Amino acid sequence: MTDLSPVRRALLSVSDKTGLIELGQALAARGVELLSTGGTAKALRDAGLTVRDVAEVTGFPEMMDGRVKTLHPMVHGGLLALRDNAEHVAAMEQHGIAGIDLLVVNLYPFEATVAKGAAYDDCIENIDIGGPAMIRAASKNHAFVNVVVDVADYDALLAEMAANDGQTSYAFRQRLAQTAYARTAAYDAAVSNWMAGQLALEAPRRRAFAGELKQTLRYGENSHQQAAFYIDGSNRPGVATARQLQGKELSYNNINDTDAAFELVAEFAPENGPACAIIKHANPCGVALGATLSEAYQKAFDCDRTSAFGGIVALNQPLDAETAGKIVEIFTEVVIAPGASEEAIAIFAAKKNLRLLLTDGLPDPRQPIVAMKQVAGGMLVQDKDVGHVDLADLKVVTRKAPSDAQMADLLFAWKVGKHVKSNAIVYVKDGATVGVGAGQMSRLDSANVAAAKAQRMATELGLPESPAKGCAVASDAFFPFPDGLLEAAAAGGACVIQPGGSMRDDEVIKAADEAGLAMVFTGMRHFRH
């Protein structure tokens, strides 16, 4: 095997015709013979190029609605033959098999077909067979064969050939083969996961996950860690699909925090009013509703002004000029919203380091999604926490029942608590967080942290008392002992929402009654590790 290998004969068969004509013209100009199938051959011929049908090479017509066209020794022999193996060369001569030096294939649009909600049989028909078979064959024989599966690699191929007088280097072919194998792996993963869903298999014996590189990152959580951002093609509104209008490249931590912020604010439907969430290190430092977006932002910011510095702001409605003007008063890393006015965009333009991400909508907080977490030697897989409770789901367990206003704050606090790292305690008053205790080793500690945050808010805003006085309290899991509940009551809590289910529920309920609290159980917890 020599390092450089010439490209004399190419087989092109693509569903995505982007760039096809330009590629075909460039190859033909170098004297490369073009083989093709179906619609690809027609497109090339319509552009005035000379193309030989694969059916002519194999001696068999395309049949069975195109299911059988390239599955033939004349094709696979041309892809798999080792050019420096005398027996392979002799077999090619004996059977009239000509080598194929370049394979350009992109697969039937299975993922897109599923994404648009097509019927089962339509999805099945969009499972490519011949394409993956050829890709795998060409990739295995990358010592001599180039395989291109991405339109993005057309220019690189032509540049490589131009630099090497119509030849390609072994290192280049290796890189193409790696990309090709990853593509077929991702394709098979999409098919197998779709079928698992169709069969309602909660835990398939084998499960594959795949992603496409969106961007390489400067580093990971810390500067000594390498990192990259991959997308799964699901098109869920959020950081993966947003348009970045300005600001420097997102970092690993920016992406993680922005996702946390947007998923949280999506809990509040825009038709129910403006909402804002400010996130720091994947935890909310302030979340609020408001009569206007500007008011919602101000209330969220006031909850913890110190932590909001350098944070992520997520909005459930398009960014307007008034809100933009307030946001730029302090340093903010990222703002993500479902749109923005031209006036707001102009205000942000003066802050070149502020990233502005715009989406085409909000993610559905109840959409079932598979969530993964890597552990040593394996991976934990679960459904994303899309648990939701409504007013009718709440069970009043104390002598005192919450008022309507308190119920509204309790439900708001519950939605926020779902997005706070466990152990989580959230204090809410008048549709805004006033204290958040996150990620502590005990629920008592989280209640203390939330109380301290509320007291600092009082100091920063010059309030006569802690805003936690009379607040609603949410706990992401049950109180195992009365101490955490009583700590929240001492901070000013007037009503509590929690899952219930502790062996000591009776003790906790008795303590709530003695403290004059109203308390409701949800029957659902929201651990977030």
Q: Quick one: pLDDT band at residue 59, thresholds 50, 70, 90?
A: low
Kindly provide the residue ranges of all beta strands, DSSP E only, lying in 393-489, ordered along the sequence: 395-396, 425-428, 433-437, 471-475
pLDDT digit string, tens, across residues 224-238? 999 999 998 788 999
Q: Is 140 a catalytic residue?
A: yes
Tokens of 283: 């935890």
Write down the pLDDT at residue 485.
94
Write down the pLDDT at residue 98.
81
Write down the pLDDT at residue 108.
86
pLDDT digit string, tens, across residues 261-280? 999 999 999 999 999 999 99
Whether residue 68 is predicted with pLDDT greater than 70 in this model: the reply is no
Q: Quick one: pLDDT band at residue 67, thresholds 50, 70, 90?
A: low
Output DSSP code: residue 152. G
Write down the pLDDT at residue 61.
65
Distance (Å, rounded) from C-alpha 526 to C-alpha 80? 54
Distance (Å, rounded) from C-alpha 459 to C-alpha 104? 66
Lowest mean pLDDT among 159-173, 239-253, 266-280, 367-381: 367-381
Q: Which position among 281, 326, 400, 469 bears the catalytic label?
A: 281
User: CB count, 10 Å around CB of 121?
Assistant: 8
Lowest mean pLDDT among 49-63, 375-389, 504-518: 49-63
Write down the pLDDT at residue 58.
67
Write down the pLDDT at residue 73.
74
Buried b (16+ CB within 10 A) or exposed e, 79-118: bbbebeeeebeeebeeeebbbbbbbbbbbbebbebbeeee
Which among 288, 219, 297, 304 is positioned nearest to 254, based on CA atoms? 219
Q: What is the mean pLDDT of the chain?
A: 91
Whether residue 389 is predicted with pLDDT greater than 90 in this model: the reply is yes
Region 211-233: what's the mean pLDDT?
Answer: 91
Write down the pLDDT at residue 415.
97
Q: What values do phi and psi take at 400, rounded to 5?
A: -90, 135
Whether residue 70 is predicted with pLDDT greater than 60 in this model: the reply is yes
Distance (Å, rounded) from C-alpha 132 to C-alpha 366? 35
Write down the pLDDT at residue 168.
94
Write down the pLDDT at residue 99.
82
C-alpha distances out from residue 188 to 115, 125, 297, Å: 16, 14, 44
Q: Which position among 88, 140, 214, 326 bears the catalytic label?
A: 140
pLDDT digit string, tens, across residues 403-448? 999 999 999 999 999 999 999 999 999 999 999 999 999 999 999 9
Q: Is 281 a catalytic residue?
A: yes
Which of 47-56, 178-187, 508-517 ranks highest by mean pLDDT?
A: 508-517
Report yes or no: 356 and 345 within 8 Å, Cβ to Cβ.
Answer: yes
Report yes or no: 311 and 277 within 8 Å, Cβ to Cβ.
Answer: no
Bridge partners, residue 138, by sequence = none
Write down the pLDDT at residue 209.
84
User: Which pTM value belongs to this model?
Assistant: 0.83
Write down the pLDDT at residue 57.
75
Whether residue 63 is predicted with pLDDT greater than 80 in this model: the reply is no
Write down the pLDDT at residue 65.
63
Q: State percent of the chain over pLDDT 70.
A: 97
Tokens of 186: 């991702």
Region 13-41: what's the mean pLDDT?
Answer: 91
Q: Quick one: pLDDT band at residue 69, thresholds 50, 70, 90?
A: low
Q: Quick one: pLDDT band at residue 208, thresholds 50, 70, 90?
A: confident
Q: Which residue has the higher pLDDT, 379 or 360?
A: 360
Write down the pLDDT at residue 126.
87
